[in-house]
Amino acid sequence: MGVVLYAFAVVRYLALYRTRGSSLLLAFAVAFALLAEAMVAVAVSRNWQLSWWEWHVLMLVAFALIAVGAHREWHEERFGALYLEKGESEVTVLFADLEGFTAFSERHGPDEVTQMLNTYFEAAIPAVERHGGKVDRLIGDAVMATFENADDHPEQAARAALPLQESAGAVAAANPDWPRFRVGLNTGAASAGVLGSLAGGRTYSVVGDTVNLASRIEGLAPVGGVAIGTVTAARLQGRSSSRSAT
């Protein structure tokens, strides 16, 4: 049974290696093959002492291969080739930006600005995550989140945007001189992958015109409100019509 599981792992890691080209994935595939061979050697060998040494040598080689592969890819975002999807896919991007942030920063000290940002982020981020979104990055006073793992990701994003503004509105009501969020949504194709330099500073993110347009749509939203791109609006209307028909 153990050999079968090792063989299955080899097949899966080789499949991932063919699509992602990571040396770490290849190292895992070879390591599992060596572990399977070691298990077979122990099972069929008539010389217990020889099989004992073979088992441990093969295990040592297997783990050494993984260590070398990990060392070569230490710069990747949490060894993202093991689990992060890459390539183009359809996403809905949510951009939330604080209107009046620059003026607020000019009137207040760094500690006050930091406190204001963290208070807003603590209100906004849970609203995104509760509805299936992932915070892609924080850009100064802006939150960029993506929704992509379901057929109804435009609806998920819309459902996140409204409670985000409600939570942010409660924060603003308690702090009248603080800036307010504007939110924009846009749906379309984007490319996902690890960005940055091999020397460091690498991170997993999505890029493309869909992301850029989401940022521009956010700029059209009223303060405390949500603006929706045409593709997102059409998808939401289509789902609404489908529900009405049923």
Q: Are residues 147 and 236 in the same domain?
A: yes
Q: Please tell me the distance from the alpha carbon of residue 43 to that of residue 240, in angstroms, as a whole number.
A: 61
The pLDDT value recorded for residue 78 is: 46
- Where is the domain boundary, 56, 81, 106? 81
Question: How many structural domains compose the chain?
Answer: 2
Q: Are residues 115 and 230 in the same domain?
A: yes
Q: Are residues 103 and 176 in the same domain?
A: yes
Q: Are residues 63 and 108 in the same domain?
A: no
- Where is the domain boundary, 39, 58, 81? 81
Q: Are residues 107 and 136 in the same domain?
A: yes
Q: Are residues 92 and 208 in the same domain?
A: yes
> For residue 7, what are the domain limits?
2-81
Q: Are residues 155 and 218 in the same domain?
A: yes
Q: Are residues 117 and 174 in the same domain?
A: yes
- Where is the domain boundary, 81, 105, 128? 81
Instruction: Please list the pLDDT of the chain residue by residue as tens digits (246 residues).
Output: 677 887 888 888 777 677 655 666 777 787 878 778 777 776 766 665 656 667 677 777 777 877 776 666 555 544 444 444 556 789 999 999 999 999 999 999 999 999 999 999 999 999 999 999 999 889 999 999 999 877 789 999 999 999 999 999 999 999 999 999 999 999 999 887 666 665 555 666 788 899 999 999 999 999 999 999 999 999 998 765 445 444
Q: Are residues 14 and 95 in the same domain?
A: no
**In CATH, what number is assigned to the domain containing residue 182?**
3.30.70.1230
The pLDDT value recorded for residue 79 is: 45
Q: Are residues 183 and 228 in the same domain?
A: yes
Q: Please tell me the distance from the alpha carbon of residue 242 to that of residue 237, in angstroms, as a whole number.
A: 9
